[in-house]
Structure formats: structure tokens, C-alpha cells
Amino acid sequence: MAIEDDVLVIGGGLAGATAALAAANAGTKRVRLVTYKQSTLRHASGLIDVLGYTPAGKGPLTDPFDALEELPHGHPYERVGIDAVRDALSFFDGIVGDAYAGGHTDRNALVPTHGGTVKPTARYPAATAPGLASDDRDALLVGVETLPDFDAPLAAAHLEAAGIPFDCRGVTLRFPGITRDDAKVTRYAHLLDRNESVSTPSGEAGAREALSTAVRDHFEGEPRVGFPAILGDERADDVRGDLADTLGADVFEVPMGPPSLPGIRLEELLYDALEAAGVRVTSGVPVVGYETGDRAGAGRRTERIDHVVVDRHGAEIPHRADQYVLATGGLVGKGIESDREGVAEPIFGCRVPHAEDRYDWFVDDVFGEQPYARFGLEPDRELRPLDADGEPEFANLRAAGAVLGGYDYAAEKSGAGVSIATGYVAGTRSAEVSE
């Protein structure tokens, strides 16, 4: 017997979670999210970048919305429209509440990253807010010996070279209570969350006090101090507050590469919201097939997806819904696959426009504009994937996030913004037409 839903979302990343929440918010009673692999959110920075650079490379952009009006035909933002991007961001703001900042303005903020660069972004964790590069207060960056991905002195030097409007200095110290250089970022966070007792040169102390003491040995009165993004998880606000009180300075986190604690926190916010909205989440199961059915309707294509087939521990379980949203990611997330025969979308076989000659998929210049970076589904303005004749592949399938083509999210710094905007539109449209 098939499991019945009104809207079924395939994919558990930012686009999929947003689509499911949008469908539930629009009044759909039976919404299900099916995801196979662990969400890619925990590998993301946690920053929400709408558009940092134009497709032509102009930037960093001060106001991304000015540039949205000039995007080329087929870009996901051009498909959904600027008003939908604004509505989607407002929807995101309502989900994350005061855990994120940036919703007060259209302008991008410049957020320092672990490599010493600044990233133009529209929304950023509240824990990052005191570290913005537009702030002219001096800063001390604190690195940790067992976290080589963040070289604080080098990051400070890069920021200084980039012309930041403040003096920046970096130091590296041993993190109290951590001796292994392969400790997970969650170990640092949990140690501070629980304020575990650790050994220091002067005896036992709580982890927060011990970290503050270690920093004070290098502190020169800077009004703000930046740490790698490891300052707690469930009690992150308390951790930063205690460090700030002890040091007498604002404390902020510098976004890190994967695995990312801000990304994990964002995932927790979204999945808590899914539970609160009554969205059913089925995880750890791949969609391995589908069946179509004809449901005649005036003025619409008759071929529709009747149900998808989910592999649950070797048993094939049908899941039937009125509307479907595909949010399985791009080439990196395996939502788009390529081999010597071509490029394809593996679940529904939707068309992925690409050159027939594989040597036209890339250019020799490593820093050049790579055609493969734009591979993905071509949607209509309802975000329904189109076939070679420009017709929807299925009447009741929409796509969202990195599975869409027509943009280079890495070069544009637009990945999270596109996921939120297209996820919001796909989920809302699916709810509106759900029977």
C-alpha cells in the first residue's frame, strides 16, 4: 500500500527543507520530506549568500538586489523574480529568528572567513555579527593549534592586505582540554557547552574560564575577539557571553570550512521547524524509481508522476503524492550525474542541457568560466523541469536548489540564496495546486 501525501519533497538540504516548510506554511496538511544522505548543510558555512558577484565577475556587490535585475535569461533568480527572492528571505528570517542577522537591510555584509578573505553575504549567524569587516574596531583573531584550517596570524595578514578599516592581529594557542589534532568540531563545542573541567598550568578550571585565561596572555585590549566557529552548540550564546564578560570585549565566530558548526546549527533550526510544522521526515532512504499515471485535465499536460519508489532496507515502498519537489543537489550532491555518455538527472531522467562533446564541458584555464558549473535542469517560471521541446517533463514536478542549471553558485556566491528562493517558490506553488 502506497504512503499518501499532498506534497513530497525529495532532498534534505537547504532547498528541500525550505520547500517543505513553504508547502506546510501555505496550508498543505500532508507534507513529507524524503532524504537519503546526510544533509549538506553541515558542510556549509552557515552564511546565506544571495549574490556576491555578477555572472560577469563584477563585485563584491554592495546591493545584490540591484544586480538581480540584470541577470541573464534562465538564471534561477530570473525564473522566480525579485519579489519572490524578497519573500523567500523574509520567510527564512521568520524560521531562524534572532539566530541570524542581516534582515534589516538589502545590502550585503562583508564577513571575514577562515582564509582571511571577506565574503559578501545577505544573512549571517548572530555569532558572526560583531566580526563584520565594515566595523572599524580593531580585532584579535585567535587560532587553535589543533585546528590548522584556521591560521589566525595568516588570516589577519590577509585581511590587512585587503584594506580592512581596522588593525587586525592573529595569535595561535592550545585549546584547553583538547590534545588530539583530529578532534571533531563538535568536541570543542560540547566541552564549552558543558563547561567541562580541564587541566591548566594553574590547576583545574572550567573550559570557558581556561580558554579566556589562555587568550588573556595574548590580549592587548582589542574591543573584539574572533574565534573559529566552535564556541558551543546548544548553549552557544552562553559560551560567547561568558567569554565576552571575562575578556571585556565583543566575541565573534569566524566561519570555517567543512565540517561546519554554523551549518550544523542551521540544520538543527530547519529540522526543528519542520517538526513544528508537522512535516513528516523520512531519512536514510533513497528514491530509486517512479511510475507515471494519466490524470486528464483541461489545459494541462496529462503525464504526471503517480508515485515514487523508496528503497527502505531492501524493500521497495511506494510513496504517492499530488505534487513533487526535486531538491537533490547538483554535481557535488549527485543530484546531477555525468559520465562519458553525457549528463543526466538520475531519478526522473529529466533533461540536463549540455554540449555533446565532453571537451566542451570545461575550459583549460583553471580560473576560467567552466561550462560544467552551470549544468542543471532548465525550468519554466513554475520551476517545472523542461524537456527538449520546452514542455514540462511532468505536470506535477518542480525542482529547487543546486539541481537547477543556468548559474554558477560558487563564482557568484549565490548558492544559499538560490536554494531558499527556489525552494520557497517550489513549495508554495506545489501547495497552491495540490489537490
The domain ranges of the chain are 3-100+264-433, 129-254
Residues of the chain with pLDDT under 70: 1, 294-302, 359, 363-368, 435
**Complete DSSP assignment for 193-221:** HTT-EEEETTEEEEHHHHHHHHHHTT---
Q: Is 78 exposed, middle or buried (0-12, 13-18, 19+ CB in 10 A)?
A: middle
Q: pTM to 2 decimals?
A: 0.93
Euclidean distance between CA atoms 417 and 348, whole angstroms: 25
Strands 31-35 and 3-10: parallel
Note the residue count of the chain: 435
The dihedrals phi and psi of 328, each to the nearest 5 degrees, come to -95, 0
Q: Amino acid identity, residue 427?
A: G
pLDDT at residue 394, as a whole number: 96
| pLDDT score recorded for residue 1 | 62
CATH of 3-100+264-433, one of 3.30.70.60, 3.40.50.410, 1.10.10.10, 3.50.50.60: 3.50.50.60
Cα 345 from Cα 329, distance rounded (Å):
10
The conformation of residue 108, written as its DSSP 8-state character, comes to: P
Q: Please state the φ and ψ torsions of residue 121, each to the nearest 5 degrees.
A: -145, 150
Whether the Cβ atoms of residue 55 and residue 302 lie closer than 8 Å to each other? no
The span from the CA of 10 to the CA of 20, in Å, is 9
What pLDDT digit, counting tens, does each position of 356-411 carry? 877 677 766 655 677 778 889 999 999 999 999 999 999 999 999 999 999 999 99
Confidence at residue 298, expressed as pLDDT on a 0 to 100 scale = 42
State the CATH architecture for 129-254: 3-Layer(aba) Sandwich (3.40)
223: cell is 574591543
In sequence order, the β-bridge partners of residue 9 are 33, 325
- The SS3 assignment for 238 reads helix
Of 185, 211, 190, 184, give the one whose Cα is nearest residue 200.
Answer: 211
Instruction: Please report the pLDDT score of residue 297 as a whole number.
Output: 47
- What is the secondary structure of 350-369 as a DSSP string? ------SSGGGS--S-TTS-
Query: Are 3-100+264-433 and 129-254 equal in CATH topology?
Result: no
Tens-place pLDDT, residues 234-253:
999 999 999 999 999 999 99
Q: Minimal CA–CA distance to 193: which of 174, 176, 184, 206? A: 206
Q: What is the dihedral of CA 330, 334, 335, 341, to 10 degrees?
A: 100
pLDDT of residue 127: 96
pLDDT for residue 299: 47
